[in-house]
Structure 1
Amino acid sequence: MANYLLEIGLEEMPAHLVSAASAQLEKRVADFLAEKRVKFDTIVKYATPRRLAVLVKGLSDASEAVDEEVKGPSEKIAKDADGNWSKAIQGFSRGQGVTPDDLVLKGDYYYANKHISGVPTSEILTAIGDDVIAKMQFSTYMKWANNSFLFVRPIQWLVSLLDDETVSFKLLDVTSNAITRGHRFLYDEPIVLKDALDYEAALNTAFVIADSAARKTLIETQIAEIASTNSWDIYLEPGLLEEVNNLVEYPTAFVGDFEAKYLDVPEEVLVTSMREHQRYFEVRDLSGNLQNHFISVRNGNAEHIENVAKGNQKVLVARLEDAEFFWREDQKLKISDLVEKLKKVTFHEKIGSVYEHMGRVKIIAKKLRDHAMLPLAFDDKLDRAADIYKFDLLTGMVGEFDELQGIMGEKYALLAGEDAAVATSIREHYMPTSADGDLPETEIGAVLAVADKLDTILSFFTVGLIPSGSNDPYALRRATAGILRIIDNQKWAISLETIINELYSLRLNGFKYDRRDDVISFINGRVAKMLSGIARRDIIDAVLATESLDVARLTENAQALDHKTDEADFKTSVENLSRVFNLASKLDAAPVIDETQFENAYEKVLFDANQALVLTDNVVENVEKLFDLSTPISNFFDNTMVMTDNSVIKYNRLSLLSDIASKASKIADFTLINTK
């Protein structure tokens, strides 16, 4: 068993691409070896800003030999009229490396029994450059020199080492060898690897910790020691820690300071300056109070660390000076003046201004309030929030720190004397800011968030800016998912489709929505994704066909039906209800049931059972009641000809089935549920 090292040396990659690129390389190497039938035990991956590597352990010396049976031409075309082998059979035989006489007839077809010998692993690995590295995909590419080849960053060196032997391949003008490189600034000498297993240890001596997990643990340990020494509480936000880890090859954590006067600026601004702009960790005391210190991580050792700290302090203070200035100046502005200026701020050139967007959102918010039957007590607050909630876009602070949209709006609104609920909704209307981000806690914030996102979706669809494939530049999928999560979290029993239909009948501030069907289909797709972990896909499709877009009810319907799938009566009940749906669709007039037209007792029994069926808010009970109809439905079909030649009797029977289908369709379209 052998060990194989593959390393791709690069110019520094963006930190957010490192982890994904490392995982991709690991998978592509594993798939490549599996495809070539080369067995191995494990793959260890390594990644730093300037290298991606894998160490394949327990690699077999050669690919596995296999015997294959390949299907060839049929017996009908295998020979010509004179009994000679046809050109088709001769061509197939040549392609398989056998003669026609070697073929075996099985049934109506000829087969070739083919032995494929193993190939030395060292020979197979020569293709890893073209078959693995060159096929890697990234969200960001670079092209360098006169090459047409694209990669995440220019390739500087390649290591390809099978135990102690170089496996040579070439990409552009770079040929693989056994020479890697250490830290860019701390180790100038080339590192000649004698064996694949020497990789990690050799790099450690050259100030490179290639193991991402080990490097992250070292950062955590260093910062924990600083926190313990100073009695500080330092939160290592996971996303920031991952990013910092992917910025360094040899981490050294250190402390920086800034003047205490900057603590008068809202801490959200300070934290944003440190985290988002400088990649620093903020420092708090053990009571949770923000301190005038920060933690950063150097890509290097502790030599001259004091100078590094001073340099970082200067950069941060420059940001804080700006923040302090904007904080002071913004407080001189009037909300009414900023809202007026929003008339000249473009929401989108094809749609109109932010001010016009807010006007539409105000109308949508009122509709949401009515449909959700929320208390009228907060009408004035909701109206006020809708009138001003985007004003902070024109503040200096948000202009400098766009991550603080809404957050600064809440703070400035409170300083201006706005109601606390109004101020909170200004912050909450951006929620959720990510797939699993926090949701609005207040009803006003939830209504404003949904209304804002809904107008964004409807207006962008109207002008044809519709997501396609993976392309979604305006984050409309995220906005839709946010709407659904908020509605579900608030337990609003509302039909989005009904609200959307009402909006499409209006002209809002001169703007009329279009492409309704596209919008409904788009939202249905997001609902289906939301329900994907709750029920089978066919059940999800069936409940979505109810055309209500009541998120809470759709969820309950899907759960209730999915829980029934393992029960003995599920198949029969669904098939009977499905038959009801199919026949009911043949009714071409309004249903009217006349009991005097019943010709047998089974019609009357089904009619009485249907009359007794009253759907309530209890979805589980509703499904049980529908499934209880299965026996009278089955007896009815066994003893009754629905599509009789007597048009009056046929109409009456179809009316009865239509009434049942009408009730059942509030749960699902049972014809879409798979019972096989």
Structure 2
Amino acid sequence: MHELLLEIGLEEMPARFVLQSETQLKERVTTFLTEARITFDTVEAFSTPRRLAVLVKGIAERQTDLEETLKGPAKRIAQDADGNWTKAAEGFARGKGLTTDDLFLGEEKGVEYIYATRKEAGQETATLLTGLKQVIEAMNFPKNMRWSTQPLRYMRPIRWLIALLDDQVIPFEVASVETGRTSRGHRFLGQDITILRPNAYVEALAGEHVIVSYAARRQMIEEQIEALAQSEQFEVPIDASLLEEVTNLVEYPTALFGAFDEAYLELPEEVLITTMKEHQRYFPVKRDGTLLHYFVTVRNGNAQHIENVARGNEKVIRARLADAQFFYEEDKKADIDAQAARLDKIVFHEKLGTTGEKVRRVREMALALADRFSADRTKVDRAGHIYKFDLVSQMVYEFTELQGLMGERYANMKQEDKEVAAAIREHYMPRFAGDESPATPTGTLLAVVDKLDSVAGFFGVGMIPSGSADPYALRRQAQGIVQILADRTIQMTLVELIDFVVTAQIKAGLYQADAESVKVAMQEFFSQRLKFRLSEKGYRHDVVEAALQLDMTVGANEKRAAMLEAATQRDTFKKTVEQLSRVLNISKKAETVVTINPELFENEAERTLHEQIEQVIPQVAAAVEQSDFETAMGALESTVPAITAYFDGTMIMAEDDAIRANRLSEMKRFADAIQAVARFNALTLV
């Protein structure tokens, strides 16, 4: 068994792309080896800001031999009446690199075909690994660049390559960089180093102050921060995303702490934490839950001259906080209404007007929906006027992460209503996956309408997300709307909301698109978001398909999915779904619906089912109205024996037009009641 090392040396990568690139390289190498029929035991991936690497252990000496049976044309085409091979058979054999001597007959589902067995001896692994060149070149990244005269687009310029099978270099080149066995140590503390064998890679780089394992670097940082916290009696809350980013910014981490003037603690805590985390990549320090005038940071290097590093970081944070304090003091002097008026000078989008126009449009729509959201119209009116005023504040201009947060703080300072102030922050919620929904009725309403206005506006001007391209985060905003409607049990459907906002925007002259086309596109878009939410909750794919209905509330959709998921565990479920699906499927043939005439019934099964349908339809309607889908399902289940008997003894597509129309109409009205509970014919039965 052999070992393989592949390392791509790069200029410093953006921290947010490092881990996903490490994973991608591992997956691509694994796929390459598998498709090349090269067996192996394990693949371990590594990454730092300057490298991506994989170490593969237990690689076989040779490819596995290939033996496959190939199916050709049917015998009637491949042989003539005398049993001779036809040109079709000869062409099949030639195309597979074989001769007609290799052909034989076999039977499949009662039909004879010609077959051939192709065997191919495996090649030596070493001769195949030059294909790793294509693996490297096929890597894709969120952002790419070109350098020098190279045609290859890559995340960062490639500066060195290692490709070793045991102690032998695998020869190829990428972007004029040839493979070798030389890697580079830490940019300031290490030197170039020769890797003799793959299994020496991790230890050799560690000797040059490079910890190639992300997990090992992260553990070092956590342990060092914990040691600092204990020695200084600090509490250092570890933000997972910040820890990941810092880990991917360094090759050899050393944690340290510094301090800033206690006077800056008078600034809002959000400002201090944002300045430290978002701008400096510092970990804030607390004691008994109270923010202190200290910070913890991580150096890309060792502990030598660590005091100088701490002083340098203190100097930087002082300048940042001095700016923040100036912005804060200036903002406190400003008038909220005057700031709101300045929103007309901020372009929301060149095709959708200014932010001021958007605010007025959202305010008008929010007032129209206030009762449906159980919101106070006076509060909605005021919040709708000022909910984005902090966008023109100096603090938010400098620290965009604080939009909404500073608006709430400034509004409270100016004695605005507490719920109005909260709505300024809450209308951005949920800001990310896993974030909370707004808590107040006013904030809930503004969050939904503001996001819906953005989605509908961009759809109206043809800027619809496609593939991975979603520059205006419309998927996230739509997902947020779905979450809010579910979490706050809003009794409006997505169809109602979409109709409302598109109609309002066209009335306001926002765009000239065909309203129905925009509505249809948005319904499909929100359908995908609702499917995603239900799938995230663990519901089966077919259950999601059967439950989803946009003209019901999001909460009702979730209850339908929960009911169906539970019903799948019952022994009677398969029989129930089969019979209800028969009704749904045959009902599609009803071209017109007539009033049911019992005098046209021809058998007892028909009369029995009719009587049960008469009882069940109002029961189902009442239960669905209350979103009580368990009761509705129970009512439908009670009809299964009657449905079975009906289909066994009744020809629905009778020759007599009146009888046929009567029966199809019965099926149609029953199907409408069934579909109010679920689209049972979308379920997969096993």
* TM-score, scaled to structure 2: 0.92
Q: Which residue identity lines up with residue 522 of structure 1 in the other structure?
A: F
The equivalent residue for 2:650 is: 640
Whether the aligned pair in 1 keeps the contact of 2:25 and 2:54 (CA below 8 Å) is: yes
Find out whether 1:536 has 2:510 as its counterpart.
no
Equivalent residue runs for 1:333-344 within 5 Å = 333-344=334-345
Give the stretch that moved more between structures: 528-537 or 455-464.
Answer: 528-537
Q: Which residue identity lines up with residue 48 of structure 1 in the other structure?
A: T
The equivalent residue for 1:419 is: 417
Whether the aligned pair in 2 keeps the contact of 1:38 and 1:60 (CA below 8 Å) is: yes
Find out whether 1:300 has 2:301 as its counterpart.
yes
Equivalent residue runs for 1:114-513 within 5 Å = 114-130=118-134, 132-188=135-191, 190-285=192-287, 287-372=288-373, 374=374, 378-506=376-504, 509-511=508-510
Whether the aligned pair in 2 keeps the contact of 1:346 and 1:352 (CA below 8 Å) is: yes
Whether the aligned pair in 2 keeps the contact of 1:160 and 1:176 (CA below 8 Å) is: yes
The equivalent residue for 2:4 is: 4
Q: 1:625 aligns with which of 628, 635, 654?
A: 635
Alpha-carbon distance in 2 for matches of 1:591, 1:341: 62
SS in 2 for 1:665: helix
Alpha-carbon distance in 1 for matches of 2:265, 2:124: 66
Shift of 1:510: 4.3
Whether the aligned pair in 2 keeps the contact of 1:164 and 1:196 (CA below 8 Å) is: yes
Shift of 1:226: 0.9
Whether the aligned pair in 1 keeps the contact of 2:453 and 2:501 (CA below 8 Å) is: no
Residues 21 and 99 of structure 1, relative CA distance in 2, 3 Å threshold: same
Alpha-carbon distance in 2 for matches of 1:589, 1:518: 29
SS in 1 for 2:333: coil
Alpha-carbon distance in 1 for matches of 2:364, 2:80: 79
Whether the aligned pair in 2 keeps the contact of 1:209 and 1:250 (CA below 8 Å) is: yes
Alpha-carbon distance in 2 for matches of 1:650, 1:280: 76
Alpha-carbon distance in 1 for matches of 2:113, 2:659: 56
Q: Where in structure 1 are there 5+ consecutive unaligned residues?
A: none
The equivalent residue for 1:580 is: 583
Alpha-carbon distance in 2 for matches of 1:283, 1:428: 27
Alpha-carbon distance in 1 for matches of 2:595, 2:377: 44
Shift of 1:354: 1.7
Equivalent residue runs for 1:63-82 within 5 Å = 63-78=63-78
Whether the aligned pair in 2 keeps the contact of 1:55 and 1:196 (CA below 8 Å) is: yes
Alpha-carbon distance in 1 for matches of 2:96, 2:248: 49
Whether the aligned pair in 2 keeps the contact of 1:258 and 1:317 (CA below 8 Å) is: yes
1:6-54 C-alpha deviation (Å, 9 max, x unpaired): 1111111111111111111111111111111111111121111101111
1:457-486 C-alpha deviation (Å, 9 max, x unpaired): 112211211111221111111111101111
Equivalent residue runs for 1:543-582 within 5 Å = 543-544=547-548, 546-582=549-585
The equivalent residue for 2:38 is: 38
Alpha-carbon distance in 1 for matches of 2:427, 2:121: 64
Whether the aligned pair in 1 keeps the contact of 2:145 and 2:155 (CA below 8 Å) is: yes
Whether the aligned pair in 2 keeps the contact of 1:368 and 1:499 (CA below 8 Å) is: no
Q: Which residue identity lines up with residue 265 of structure 1 in the other structure?
A: L
Shift of 1:644: 3.8
Q: Which residue identity lines up with residue 525 of structure 2 in the other structure?
A: F
Alpha-carbon distance in 2 for matches of 1:117, 1:161: 24
Q: 2:679 aligns with which of 654, 669, 672?
A: 669
Shift of 1:116: 1.6
Alpha-carbon distance in 1 for matches of 2:221, 2:547: 50
* TM-score, scaled to structure 1: 0.94
Shift of 1:591: 4.6
Give the stretch that moved more between structures: 223-232 or 456-465.
Answer: 456-465
CA RMSD of aligned residues (A): 2.3
Alpha-carbon distance in 2 for matches of 1:67, 1:649: 62
Alpha-carbon distance in 2 for matches of 1:78, 1:609: 60
Q: 2:522 aligns with which of 519, 522, 540?
A: 519
Alpha-carbon distance in 1 for matches of 2:469, 2:639: 47
The equivalent residue for 1:21 is: 21
Q: Which residue identity lines up with residue 409 of structure 1 in the other structure?
A: G
Shift of 1:71: 2.8
Q: 1:604 aligns with which of 599, 603, 607?
A: 607
Shift of 1:647: 4.5
SS in 2 for 1:313: helix
Alpha-carbon distance in 2 for matches of 1:370, 1:595: 46
Shift of 1:595: 4.3
Give the stretch that moved more between structures: 26-35 or 629-638.
Answer: 629-638
Q: Which residue identity lines up with residue 491 of structure 1 in the other structure?
A: T
Shift of 1:655: 3.6
Q: Which residue identity lines up with residue 521 of structure 1 in the other structure?
A: E
Alpha-carbon distance in 2 for matches of 1:398, 1:466: 28
1:213-234 C-alpha deviation (Å, 9 max, x unpaired): 1111111111111111110000
Alpha-carbon distance in 2 for matches of 1:273, 1:502: 41
Percent identical across equivalent pairs? 43
Alpha-carbon distance in 1 for matches of 2:420, 2:530: 30
Residues 590 and 352 of structure 1, relative CA distance in 2, 3 Å threshold: farther
Q: Which residue identity lines up with residue 337 of structure 2 in the other structure?
A: S
Residues 586 and 115 of structure 1, relative CA distance in 2, 3 Å threshold: closer
Find out whether 1:49 has 2:49 as its counterpart.
yes
Q: Where in structure 2 are there 5+ consecutive unaligned residues?
A: none
1:33-87 C-alpha deviation (Å, 9 max, x unpaired): 1111111111121111101111111111111123222234544454679977555
Whether the aligned pair in 2 keeps the contact of 1:65 and 1:118 (CA below 8 Å) is: yes
Q: Which residue identity lines up with residue 607 of structure 1 in the other structure?
A: H
Residues 627 and 133 of structure 1, relative CA distance in 2, 3 Å threshold: same
Give the stretch that moved more between structures: 79-88 or 361-370.
Answer: 79-88
Alpha-carbon distance in 2 for matches of 1:92, 1:654: 52
Shift of 1:590: 5.4
Whether the aligned pair in 2 keeps the contact of 1:591 and 1:658 (CA below 8 Å) is: no
Give the stretch that moved more between structures: 593-602 or 50-59.
Answer: 593-602
Shift of 1:670: 3.2
